[in-house]
């Protein structure tokens, strides 16, 4: 954590430099560095004294403590240790590049890319300009009914689901009883309280309470954990997501929802999700992305479950990313769920589809508590509903179905 603290201050300084020399950055965030809303590549730092935020990957067995000291000796500001992938995230000044490239203990240096909530080209899925809805008598959102998750005996009780997102409004009356903990990996001294709304919305689709108000989730008694890896503009660094994966591994998380993505294929990201899935036994469900192109990362990695969007008529919206990596489709158009300050909102995106599938995964885990992620995947496949009017690039194995939790 000491590493993190030093780096945070330095990153903040560089963040301010960024805001002075780019034209597409997000708002100043009180949780950490200023970061660009662009999801492409690492932050550009082209002014004098340029430093880039990178992930330095060492050969297996490296002593990260000693390597961190060595990096600092080269004028590198270290940010955090990423133990499972033998790496350290760091701000690397240009003058240190050649030294690091010739260091035999370093395997690779990856960009610490920006990962974000993907906004759709036409702004569909952005929080509506209207005020969010006030609470009302509980209604079952159409998505819950469409995947046959309405009124089940299996409620996902005892399953730990982590929402890697902008946080969770843990005081929301339709969520609070299910929220059991979390972490803010952007700044570990701050809480994981949601300052955007997106993470709260995702959380409600997974596990809003079956009570008298608002909405109901797919797995209304699952335990929710907020892993705040995205700032209030909906963007975050890959290294903070990798830190969140390590937190999930030591905290007994069964299922992770990642309604976030990047176009960049980064080996450190793939290695980190592979470890969480294959070694830590966590089912990782990811949104495919919303730019109407191929499937983004991490959804496109083999160890994660990639989810595309359908609407209430089983049509795939033009903005849903599709392709061979898609594993399942799930409702993602006009989804009502929980929002900040105890309210509710109806929004669209594969960000809304992924939590339907994560909820189904939670039901499957509840019914098969010792199953591996591969086994949970095969259960979900055998219960999915293949839609004849859709291609397999659009729906993968079909629309997720709650019978996977029988």
Question: Whole-angstrom Cα distance, residue 287 to residue 205?
Answer: 14
Among 22, 138, 378, 393, binds Ca ion (CB under 5 A): 138
Contacts of 350 (CB under 8 A, 6+ apart): 118, 259, 287, 288, 289, 290, 307, 308, 309, 320, 321, 332
Instruction: Provide, rounded to whole angstroms, the least separation between the CB of residue 157 and Ca ion.
Output: 16
C-beta of 68 vs 214, nearer to Ca ion? 214
Contacts of 392 (CB under 8 A, 6+ apart): 326
Instruction: Provide, rounded to whole angstroms, the least separation between the CB of residue 155 and Ca ion.
Output: 12
Instruction: Provide, rounded to whole angstroms, the least separation between the CB of residue 287 and Ca ion.
Output: 23
Per the rule left: phi > 0, alpha: psi between -120 and 50, beta: everything else, 158 is: left
C-beta of 174 vs 311, nearer to Ca ion? 174
C-beta of 139 vs 382, nearer to Ca ion? 139
C-beta of 221 vs 268, nearer to Ca ion? 221
Instruction: Provide, rounded to whole angstroms, the least separation between the CB of residue 210 and Ca ion.
Output: 6
Q: Token pair of 236, please?
A: 């975050």
Residue number of the CB atom closest to Ca ion = 214
* 279 phi and psi angles, rounded to 5 deg: -100, -35
Instruction: Provide, rounded to whole angstroms, the least separation between the CB of residue 211 and Ca ion.
Output: 5
Question: Whole-angstrom Cα distance, residue 185 to residue 69?
Answer: 22
User: By CB under 5 A, how many residues form the interface with Ca ion?
Assistant: 7
Per the rule left: phi > 0, alpha: psi between -120 and 50, beta: everything else, 35 is: beta
Instruction: Provide, rounded to whole angstroms, the least separation between the CB of residue 215 and Ca ion.
Output: 6
Asked whether position 141 contacts Ca ion by CB under 5 A, the answer is no
Query: Which residues in the 204-263 window bind Ca ion by CB under 5 A?
Result: 208-209, 211, 214, 216
Question: Whole-angstrom Cα distance, residue 228 to residue 183?
Answer: 6
Q: Which of 276, 266, 265 is nearest to 243 (CA)?
A: 276
C-beta of 232 vs 336, nearer to Ca ion? 336
C-beta of 44 vs 140, nearer to Ca ion? 140
Question: Whole-angstrom Cα distance, residue 230 to residue 155?
Answer: 28
The answer to whether the beta carbons of residues 225 and 182 sit under 8 Å apart is yes
H-run or E-run covering 183: strand 179-184
Locus of tokens 């035999």? 104
Which sequence positions are flagged as catalytic?
Answer: 165, 198, 351
C-beta of 51 vs 175, nearer to Ca ion? 175
The answer to whether the beta carbons of residues 20 and 34 sit under 8 Å apart is no
Query: Which residues in the 155-214 window bind Ca ion by CB under 5 A?
Result: 174, 208-209, 211, 214
Query: Which residues in the 281-320 window bind Ca ion by CB under 5 A?
Result: none
Q: Which of 83, 103, 79 is nearest to 91 (CA)?
A: 79
Binding mask 28-57 for Ca ion (x = CB under 5 A): ------------------------------
Instruction: Provide, rounded to whole angstroms, the least separation between the CB of residue 212 and Ca ion.
Output: 7
The answer to whether the beta carbons of residues 402 and 218 sit under 8 Å apart is yes
Asked whether position 140 contacts Ca ion by CB under 5 A, the answer is no
Handedness of CA 231, 263, 317, 204 (dihedral sign): negative
Piece of the chain touching Ca ion by CB under 5 A; list 114-122, 138-146, 277-285, 299-307: 138-146
- Enumerate binding residues for Ca ion (CB under 5 A): 138, 174, 208-209, 211, 214, 216
């Amino acid at each position: 954590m000491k590493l993190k603290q030093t780096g945070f201050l330095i990153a903040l300084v560089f963040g301010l430099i960024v805001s002075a020399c780019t034209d597409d950055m997000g708002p100043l965030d009180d949780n950490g560095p200023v970061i660009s809303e662009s999801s492409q590549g690492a932050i550009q730092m082209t002014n004098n004294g340029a430093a880039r935020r990178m992930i330095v990957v060492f050969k297996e067995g490296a002593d990260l403590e000693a390597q961190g000291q060595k990096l600092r000796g080269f004028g590198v500001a270290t940010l955090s240790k990423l133990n499972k992938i033998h790496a350290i995230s760091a701000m690397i000044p240009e003058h240190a590049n050649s030294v690091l490239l010739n260091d035999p203990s370093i395997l690779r240096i990856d960009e610490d890319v920006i990962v974000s909530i993907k906004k759709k080209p036409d702004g569909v899925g952005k929080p509506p300009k209207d005020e969010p809805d006030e609470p009302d008598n509980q209604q079952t959102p159409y998505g819950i009914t469409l995947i046959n998750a309405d009124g089940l005996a299996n409620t996902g009780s005892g399953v730990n689901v982590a929402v890697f997102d902008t946080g969770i409004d843990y005081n929301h009356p339709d969520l609070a009883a299910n929220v059991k903990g979390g972490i803010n990996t952007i700044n570990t001294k701050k809480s994981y309280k949601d300052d955007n709304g997106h993470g709260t919305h995702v959380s409600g689709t997974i596990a809003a309470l079956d009570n008298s108000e608002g909405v109901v989730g797919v797995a209304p008694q699952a335990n929710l954990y907020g892993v705040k890896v995205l700032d209030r503009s909906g963007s975050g660094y890959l290294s903070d997501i990798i830190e969140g994966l390590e937190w999930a591994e030591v905290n007994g998380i069964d299922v992770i929802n990642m309604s976030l993505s990047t176009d960049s294929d980064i080996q450190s990201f793939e290695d980190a999700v592979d470890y969480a899935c294959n070694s830590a036994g966590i089912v990782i469900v990811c949104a495919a992305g919303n730019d109407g192109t191929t499937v983004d990362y991490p959804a496109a990695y083999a160890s994660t479950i990639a989810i595309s969007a359908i609407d209430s008529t089983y049509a795939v919206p033009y903005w849903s990313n599709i392709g061979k990596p898609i594993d399942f489709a799930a409702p993602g158009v006009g989804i009502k769920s929980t929002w900040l300050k105890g309210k509710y909102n109806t929004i669209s995106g594969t960000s809304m589809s992924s939590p339907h599938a994560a909820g189904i995964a939670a039901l499957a885990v509840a019914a098969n508590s010792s199953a591996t992620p591969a086994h949970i995947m095969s259960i979900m496949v055998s219960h999915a509903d293949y839609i004849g009017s859709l291609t397999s690039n659009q729906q993968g194995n079909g629309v997720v179905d709650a019978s996977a939790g029988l």
